[in-house]
Amino acid sequence: MKTVTQSMITLGMAMSVMAQNLSYGADNFYRSNNVTMQPISFPTQYQTTVAANLFYLKDQNNSAAPAIVVGHPMGAVKEQSANLYATKLAEQGFITVSIDIPFWGSSEGEPRNTVLPELYAEAFSAAVDYLGTQNLTSVDRERIGGLGICGSGSFVISAAKLDPRLRAIATASMYDMGTLARQGLQNSTSVDQLKETIAGAAQQRWTEIDGGEPQYTSGTLNHLTANATPVEREFYDYYRTERGEFTPVGSTPELTTHPTLSSFTKFVNFYPFSGIETISPRPLLFISGDQAHSREFSEDAYSRAAEPKELLWVPGAGHVDLYDRTELIPFQRLAQFFQTNLS
């Protein structure tokens, strides 16, 4: 069998439809006949509004049930990966909420695609507020957990450090967006390169305050090129094909996944793993593919965290595989983790 990296390179040589690999049960837009999905919204502590989806079994009984807040990958929206996880966990009897972090998707915040990690973390706590105060379903306030995919893994950890109402925390394919901004993958960004990025963002602020248009940075390639890296190809295969492509209302395909240039450096001051040991004795579960280019972030978080903690490797899985490949994502293990720790 090819390794994940070899598969990504092979896929990248094909174009458009041929670039897609829907093996391993890729099913980003999965829906369950047994689960009700209900659009909701709720305020943050800063009186902005978060858009979300509420999921629960159609025959959910009236006894108090555990709940889980689910966050999407950075640059994505709740319809990409978060809804899938929320649906699969709702099938196991959890009441789940998938959120659009502020400035993204249908949540409030201007300019669109702005980076502000403090507000991203606040969205998880705001979802806890919502779950603990509604009569739509019966939620036990003492049994609420959090799950973050990719960048939201670092946001839910940031939230949990200040919000002990999040009783159990799991991450999948986690990115530490702060370390990524400062150092790049595997320390590939030099100090001089970081200074150049910061200077460019500051210069863009002058452009915008003088009436110029916002500019966007990083994110997923809009068009696959011959010299694209394996990581770029991996994201392209998800975000730019029918596998996971989704354009929120009010956005355009060219802008999806791309944060604003003038705000992206806000991540430089984001240190989600600093103080992660204070989450203990609440349990942490880090899930990563053993072939994932992002595995360094889960390893770092695990090494810093206090017990109880677990680092679960998914054999043969890359980073984006854990967004939607249902035959690789350990949903049963996730359900067991939350059932045990939200009991």
Percent of the chain predicted with pLDDT > 70: 93
Q: What is the pLDDT of residues 75-108, one digit of tens each?
A: 999 999 999 999 999 999 999 999 999 999 999 9
Kindly indicate the confidence band of residue 30, based on its pLDDT and cuts at 50, 70 and 90.
Answer: very high
Asked if 108 and 114 count as a contact pair (C-beta separation under 8 A), the reply is: no
- 209: number of Cβ within 10 Å: 9
SS3 assignment for 14-43: CCHHHHCCCCCCECCCCCCCCEEEEEEEEE
Per-residue pLDDT at 137:
56
Residue 239 sits in a domain whose CATH number is 3.40.50.1820
With a cut of 80, say whether residue 17 has pLDDT above it. Answer: no
Within 8 A by CB and 6+ apart from 149, the residues are: 70, 71, 72, 73, 81, 82, 85, 171, 172, 173, 322, 323
With a cut of 50, say whether residue 204 has pLDDT above it. Answer: yes
Per-residue pLDDT at 13:
31
Q: What is the pLDDT of residues 285-320, one digit of tens each?
A: 999 999 999 999 999 999 999 999 999 999 999 999
Total of domains in the chain:
1
Per-residue pLDDT at 64:
82
Kindly indicate the confidence band of residue 21, based on its pLDDT and cuts at 50, 70 and 90.
Answer: low
With a cut of 70, say whether residue 33 has pLDDT above it. Answer: yes
Per-residue pLDDT at 62:
65
Q: What does the mean pLDDT of the chain come to?
A: 92
- Answer positive or negative: Cα dihedral of 87, 160, 114, 301: negative
Q: What is the pLDDT of residues 34-70, one digit of tens each?
A: 999 999 999 999 999 999 999 999 987 767 889 999 9
Per-residue pLDDT at 63:
73
With a cut of 60, say whether residue 129 has pLDDT above it. Answer: yes
Of the candidates 144, 141, 100, the one whose C-alpha atom is nearest the C-alpha of residue 342 is: 144
Domain holding 79, by residue range, is 4-341
Kindly indicate the confidence band of residue 22, based on its pLDDT and cuts at 50, 70 and 90.
Answer: low
Per-residue pLDDT at 213:
95
Q: Label the pairing between strands 166-172 and 284-289.
A: parallel
Of the candidates 321, 214, 261, 333, the one whose C-alpha atom is nearest the C-alpha of residue 115 is: 261
Per-residue pLDDT at 248:
94
Per-residue pLDDT at 171:
99
Percent of the chain predicted with pLDDT > 90: 88
What average pLDDT score do residues 230-251 get?
96
What's the rounded Cα separation, in Å, for the pair 208 and 212? 4
Kindly indicate the confidence band of residue 237, based on its pLDDT and cuts at 50, 70 and 90.
Answer: very high
Within 8 A by CB and 6+ apart from 196, the residues are: none
Within 8 A by CB and 6+ apart from 208, the residues are: 214, 262
With a cut of 80, say whether residue 14 has pLDDT above it. Answer: no
